[in-house]
Amino acid sequence: MYARSSVMTGVGIIGCGVISDVYAAKLQSLPDMRVVACADLYPERARELAAKHSIPLALEPEKLLRHPDVELVLNLTLPVAHAQIAREALAAGKSVYGEKPLALELADGVALLEQARAAGLALGCAPDTFLGAGIQTCRKLIDDGAIGTPVAANAFFQSPGPERWHPRPHSFYQRGAGPVFDMAPYYLTALVVLLGPARRITSSARTTHAKREISSQPLAGTFMDVEVPTHVASVIDFRSGPVATLVTSFDVQASRARNIEIFGTEGTLSVPDPNTFGGPVQIRLRSDKEWRDVPLTHGNATQSRGIGLVEMARATRAGQPGRASGELACHVLELMELAVAASAGGRHRNTTTRCARPAALAAGLPDDVFEA
């Protein structure tokens, strides 16, 4: 049993880009979390974040890792640096919670898990949106048998690409990104939370354009190289029985496809956008003529990025594993890696990683509380 505590966890943030602002605001709002330092390769970014959120220290990354008040490192660096920073933090005796993906290659993810276990440290990873009201409400409906036995699922992330809105979209088309590594973690994590771990995957992938034109400012009219598949269609078999279709794409101009639908023997469940924390949740049973809205049964329905770190820190104090665990992130990483490999090899690929289906949260808990 764990909840808010009078014991504080000292957090150090490495990587002070846009997303760091959301994390810092969340962590500084909680009485048992304290951001004691932040760091970035660009010192001015660290100073700006520290000033905005009353963070005592803006340091160089290596000094942050040596600071005695930092117990847990929040790794918000670029994906290409995730594994390296996590390794260095674990080696410095700090637990780590990072942005997705855990690493760019499964071998690095597995090595991080082994390093954390050997050191007796916690390792966690985003996304933590599955701890929000929307997906937890869906989890309760499935566990309560509301749609019968889950048989299949469809999941879609389809967009025309970030070059329409992002000021510098180049990284989205480089190694470690693309629609699979950038967006599939939300969808795959939600599917594992709802259905359990997967046993195999197959895919077909394509890169539609070798170069893409940027239409956002300030780089409108310039072109960028594309290094990754931009449309990937996967079929995933889950160990509990359901078969899921997952499409992730930066090549779709418009679509009516829902985010995630779970098909059961007695009805269908419409799952909200897994990149958000709230609803809507809808259900349509065999006897229904229309879709019905389902009231959210859980807390954390609004922007709550960072609750995965908070839940992990509290669980660690209680000697329990966190829900947004390294094992879950490593399983999702393997599925992403295999999705690309399966397309290239033209066959199903079996998973080798194992993770427990994260325990459901109890209904009715207030925001930022994870155990009754």
Quick check: helix, strand or coil at residue 238? strand
**b/e 114-127 (16+ beta carbons within 10 angstroms → b):** ebbeeeebbbbbbb
Cβ contacts of residue 31 below 8 Å, gap of 6+?
4, 6, 8
Q: What is the mean pLDDT of the chain?
A: 96
Ordered by start, the domain boundaries in the chain are 9-125, 132-294
Calpha distance 352→250 (Å, rounded): 29
Say what the pTM is.
Answer: 0.95
| pLDDT digits (tens), the chain, 372 positions | 455 556 899 999 999 998 999 999 999 999 999 999 999 999 999 999 999 999 999 999 999 999 999 999 999 999 999 999 999 999 999 999 999 999 999 999 999 999 999 999 999 999 999 999 999 999 999 999 999 999 999 999 999 999 999 988 998 999 888 999 999 999 999 999 999 999 999 999 999 999 999 999 999 999 999 999 999 999 999 999 999 999 999 999 999 988 999 999 999 999 999 999 999 999 999 999 999 999 999 999 999 999 999 999 999 999 999 999 999 999 999 999 999 999 989 999 999 999 999 999 999 999 999 997
**Residue 321 in tokens:** 């594993």
Calpha distance 308→44 (Å, rounded): 27
For the chain, the C-alpha Rg in angstroms (whole number) is 20
Choices 1.20.1250.20, 3.40.50.720, 3.30.365.10, 3.40.630.30: CATH for 9-125: 3.40.50.720
State the Cα angle at 223 between 221 and 224, rounded to 5°.
Answer: 145
Note the pLDDT tens digit of each residue in 112-138: 999 999 999 999 999 999 999 999 999
Q: In the CATH hierarchy, which fold is given to the domain comprising 132-294?
A: Dihydrodipicolinate Reductase; domain 2 (3.30.360)
Note the pLDDT tens digit of each residue in 319-341: 999 999 999 999 999 999 999 99
- Largest Cα–Cα separation, the chain: 62
